[in-house]
Amino acid sequence: MNDAHESPASLEAVVEELLLATGQLLRRLRAESNPAALTLSQRAAMGHLSRTGWLTTADLARAESVKPQSMGVTLAALEREGMVTRRPHPTDGRQVLFGLTERGRETRQRNRLLKLQWLQAKLEMLEPSEREALHAAAALIKRLGES
């Protein structure tokens, strides 16, 4: 916060601080909620499959903005770990569909719970006024992301 003698933060300073703070928080949340040691690409693919259901490698690659070959490597690693499974495409015998296994769904749910628990514990350490400030900031950050 600025006192009466400080000038308001420049737009560039706000951008730098926001990028630094959100990046640091995201890295910490990932570290606290990833006991399976999944890569960011693997977690993103699992998240997409969780939201949409069964997809081909190409569809998932498009959704995640990566090359199909890269997505193939990601899916192969997830399949080896028992997080995803494949089944034949119902109309195109040349393709297969990938979806989360029960283990994959449980892993995602456990990771989400760990993330929520860690963040809640950290927020409980703050003063009520600080939590209110974060609540207001979250609304602004959400608005930025939706614009």
Which band of pLDDT confidence, cut at 50, 70 and 90, is reported for residue 7? low
Average pLDDT over every residue of 6-11: 77
pLDDT score recorded for residue 145: 86
**Residue 6: is its pLDDT beyond 80?**
no
Q: How far apart are CA 98 and CA 88, in angstroms?
A: 9
Average pLDDT over every residue of 119-143: 95
Separation of first and last alpha carbons in the chain: 26
pLDDT tens-digit map of 77-117: 999 999 999 999 999 889 999 999 999 999 999 999 999 99
* Residue 10 DSSP class: P
pTM: 0.74
**Mean per-residue pLDDT of the chain:** 91
Q: How far apart are CA 59 and CA 10, in angstroms?
A: 42
pLDDT tens-digit map of 25-67: 988 988 888 777 899 899 999 999 999 999 999 999 999 999 9
* Residue 94 DSSP class: T
